[in-house]
Structure 1
Amino acid sequence: MTKPILLLALEEGRLSEQHLARLRELAPGYEVIQSRDETEIRALIHRIEIVVGDIPWELLGEASRLRWVQLWGAGADWLMRYPEAARHPFILTNASGVHPIPISEHIFALLLALARRLPQAFRAQQAHRWESPDWDDVFELAGKTLVLVGVGAIGERTAQVARALGMAVVGVRRDPTRPAAGVERMVSPDQLLDVLPEADFVVITAPLTPETRGLIGREALRAMKPTACIVNIGRGAIIQEEALIQALQEGWIRGAGLDVVATEPLPADSPLWDMENVIITAHYAGKTPCYDERAFAILEDNLQRFLAGQPLRNVVDKQAGY
C-alpha cells in the first residue's frame, strides 16, 4: 500500500539530516519528502496528508487527503488571500513561541535607539562629526508608558521586559479579560483611542486580520502625544502608511521604528527612507540563529500529538486568521 506523504516544503538547508531522520523515526507510516517545486508537489498532491511550511495554495482543491499544515512561521494573514484555505478541513498550526525572544529584543533595540538618538549619532560618525544632542533631545524608558497593541506570546514578553525597565504597560487585545504578565491594564480594541493619549510608545505586535488592517490611521496618530514614538513589528498594513508619513512630517508624533511596511521591499522613493526620526529594518526582527531549532521542537511535539490523536499546539483559527 502506498504511504501518505509528509511534505517538507521548506528552503534547502533549514533541516539537517538529523532532523529528517528524527521525522522518519517518528512517522514510519509516512513517506517524508522534501520539496518546494510546484510541479513535483502537484504530482504528489493527492498523497499529501501533512505539510510543513506551505504549498501553492491554489492546489488546495486537489489536496483531498490533506489533514494538517504546520507553518514554519507565525503569520497566517495569507488566509485572507486564499479563502478556500479557511474552508478546507485541514488543521493549521503555526510556530508561535519561536519569536518572543528575538522580536522583543528587536523592539527594545528600536525603542532605545529612538530614545538615545542613535540614528543621528551614526550619521554624525559617518561624516566624522562630533555631535552631542541637547539634554531634552534624549530621554529614558523608565517611567514611560507603553501601549501594546496585540498581547500574544511576543507581546507578553515585551511587556515583561518593559516592566523590568520600569515602564508602565497598557495592553490592547480582543479579550481584555485575559490577563498577561507585565501588563498593568488590559483594554479592548474599541478603547484604543482612549489609551493612545497616555502612550509614550505604541508598539504593534498584532497579526494582520480584517479587524487590524488600517487600525492605526490619522485619528489614532492624532490621538498620540507629539513626544510619542510608534514601533511596528506586526504587519505593515496595520498602519495607514500615508497617515504615518504625514504624522512624522508634521510632528504629530516624535518618531517611528518600522520592521514592517505596507509594501515590501519599501519602494526607493518612499519618504520614510530619508526621515531622521524613522528607523527602518528590513523585516528581520524574528531572525535568530536559534530559529530552526525552536521551530523543529514545535513540529516534533505536534507530530507526536497528531499521530497519537491528541490536540495540537498553536492551532490557528482559520476564520479569524490567527
Structure 2
Amino acid sequence: MKGPLFYSKILLFGEYGIIKDSKGLSIPYNFFKGALKTSKNLSEIAKKSNESLRAFAVYLEKMQLENPELVSFDFESLKKDVANGMYFDSSIPQGYGVGSSGALVAAIYDKYAVEKITVLENLTREKLLTLKAIFGAMESFFHGKSSGLDPLNSYLSLPILINSKDNIESTSIPSQNLEGTGAVFLLDSGIIGETAPMVQIFMEQMKQDGFRNMLKDQFIKHTDACVEDFISGNMKSLFGNLKQLSNVVLDNFKPMIPAEFHKLWKNGIETNDYYLKLCGSGGGGYILGFTQDINKAKKALQGYNLEVVYNF
C-alpha cells in the first residue's frame, strides 16, 4: 500500500502576522514530499512514525467527539492500518518550517475523512475555510495551535493567498524565469527549530503595547506590501519592502533568529546582496532569503547550504 504524495510548503510571507490578520502567501514546495506506507518490518524511524500515528488516531477520535459537525473519519480503517504497520514515509525535514506535520495531516484527511472536500471541486471560499478549520484542529495535535494553512497547502498543492483570517483563496503567482538572476532561496541553519516554544515567545511579546504597535504599523504593513508586490510581479517595489521587513524582523524577532545568523542577517541589509526573513516560526530550520542576484548572494553566503526554490 502506498498513498498519494503530499508536498512540503513554504510560507513566503505572513509568518506570525497571519495570527493577527496580516496577508500571507504560501506556495507548495515539491522538493520534499511524504506518503502513507505500510510495512511488516519497520525501521526505527518508521516505528516512531507508526507510534505517532497511533497517538494521532486517539487524538482525532477525541476531536471528532468534541466537534462532530466539523469532520468525521473512518476510524476502523485508520486503526486497522496503524495496527498493520502504517507510517508516514517522508523526506520533509522536521522542525525546518516547511510543513512536515502539514503533509501528514493532509495525507490522513485524504485517506480517512468521510465525505471529504476534494481538490476537483469548485473550491469556494466557504470550502477553503472549512478545510482550513478542519486542518487547524487536526494539526493542533503537533503544534499546540495551528492555523491549518500548512496542511491546506499540502492538500491542494496550490499557492494560497491569505487576505485575512476569514478570507483565503487559491491564487496564481508569476511563472518562474529559470534564466533570471533573481531568486527566493532557503538557507539551512543546521539547527532543528520547534514551533511551540517560538509561538509561546510571540504570544508573550504580544502582551506589550510597543510590540503590538510595531506588529501593526511595521511588520504587517511591509508583509502586506510584499505579498501584493510578489503576486503582481512588481520586483522593484518588492525588494524595497523586503529590506524594510528584514530590518523589522531583525530588530523585533531576535529570539526567533539563531544567534549565529544575526550578523549574516544584518550584512544582507547593509550590502543589499540578499535579504533574510523567517521561514515558518523560526528558532532554527530554514531561513528564507530573497536576492536580485543569486551569484552575489551565493558568494556572500559562501560556506552555507543554499537551496534555490524560485527564480525570477
TM-score bin (small chain):
under 0.3
Would you tell me which structure has more strand in proportion to its own residues? 2
TM-score, normalized by length of structure 2? 0.27
TM-score, normalized by length of structure 1? 0.27
Question: Which has the higher Rg, Structure 1 or Structure 2?
Answer: 1
Would you tell me which structure has more helix in proportion to its own residues? 2
Quick one: higher RCO (CA 8 Å, sep 6+), 1 or 2?
A: 2
